[in-house]
Structure 1
Amino acid sequence: MLDFGSKDLGIPIIMVIFGLVLRFKPPSKINSFYGYRTTRSIKSQEAWDYAQRRIGGLWLYTGTILYIAINISLLILPASKESLSFIHGGIGIIALIIWIPFVQKELKEKFDEDGITKN
């Protein structure tokens, strides 16, 4: 039976929540409390704002797809719950971090070393 409270759904739910926050209500100023904090993203307020919105959108989209995919896999795959939990956890961790190099590349292309928008 499908368990919507399943621990398998923890990472996708976190991705959706943080995706919504970072996409639509990101931290307004560079801070050390929360947000997408990398060397490139904290170079300027403009780079910071871009990085928050970008990773937020990616996590929102990926978390939603992952949530749906995990629920479907729980319904149709004949593997044990333990095996599926292990697989879902691994995929969830990968989904969380896979976008970091892409956002970093975009920041490098869009902003110079001082965080100023390139022309």
Structure 2
Amino acid sequence: MIFVNWILGPQLLGVIFLLAGYIQKCFPPKEINSLYGYRTARSMQDQQHWDEGNKYSTQLMLNCGWVLLVAGIMLSIALNLFDIDPKLKAWMQVAVVVAGSVVVVMVLFTKTEKHLKDTFNDI
């Protein structure tokens, strides 16, 4: 059971964001499309917005992935140090994964949109 906590714990979210970030960094979307890349109305205005939005959001995704990975490992260590009911531990891990994913997505969108707005002096 402890091994499963190390794999399926909150650090898994960090690994997912890191993988997605490295894939997007190695294979960036070259043209504006509706399938792959950072896709918002502002980023899809023109090629400059598209390139900058994808470059910025990819780096931000990698940074957030590392933070989630380290925080997840620290949380797993903390949860395994104490004698906590396994059901409560599982609920705590799920809550952290859900909260972490929501926060990271909100940070990605708000910071990238602000960056695009500031970079291109958009209204």
1:68 Cα deviation after fit:
1.5
Query: What SS does the corresponding residue of 2:10 show, helix, strand or coil?
Result: helix
SS in 1 for 2:7: coil
The answer to whether the 8 A contact 2:28-2:37 is kept is yes
Larger mean CA deviation between 18-27 and 29-38 belongs to 18-27
- The answer to which of 47-56 and 22-31 deviates more is 22-31
- Which structure 2 segments of 5+ residues have no match? none
Residue 18 of structure 2: which of 16, 20, 40 is its match? 16
CA drift of 1:89 comes to: 2.1
Matched, 1:87 2:96: yes
CA–CA separation in structure 1 for the residues paired with 2:38 and 2:9: 25
Spell out the pairing of 1:34-49 with structure 2 (5 A cutoff).
34-49=36-51
Tell me what 1:116 maps to: none
Match of 1:98, SS state, is helix
CA contact (8 A) 2:64 2:104 kept: yes
Paired positions, count: 113
On the 8 A contact 1:36/1:55 being kept in 2, the answer is yes
The gaps in structure 1 that reach 5 residues or longer are 114-119
Q: TM-score, normalised by structure 2?
A: 0.79
Kindly indicate which of the two structures has a greater share of residues assigned to helix: 2
| Aligned 8 A contact 1:22 1:56 in 2 | yes
Give me the identity figure in percent: 24
